[in-house]
Amino acid sequence: MFRHHSEGIFECEKVFGASFINSDGKTVYTRYVGEQHVKEDCNNYIPSAKEWVDNINKPTEWMIKTLKIED
């Protein structure tokens, strides 16, 4: 709830920078990693912080269902 939303992704980018170089020497965009992570944890949805607050007492599907990651 505290970081799994669009504002949390902006914060992640602010803390870690817009991009980084991975172990393969490729540029990876921090926003992409943050968005992918939130989507995996929130049923392919990126909520706002307000949506979390508004729905905390009546959880919606994106709050309780995560995506299955395929290998």
Q: Are 12 and 3 in contact (CB under 8 A)?
A: yes
Whether the predicted pLDDT of 71 surpasses 80:
no
Q: How much of the chain is in helix, strand and coil states, percent to nearest 5?
A: 50, 10, 45
How much is the pLDDT for 69?
72
pLDDT in tens, 38-52: 999 999 999 999 999
Q: What is the mean pLDDT of the chain?
A: 94
pLDDT in tens, 14-24: 999 999 999 99
Q: Are 42 and 49 in contact (CB under 8 A)?
A: no
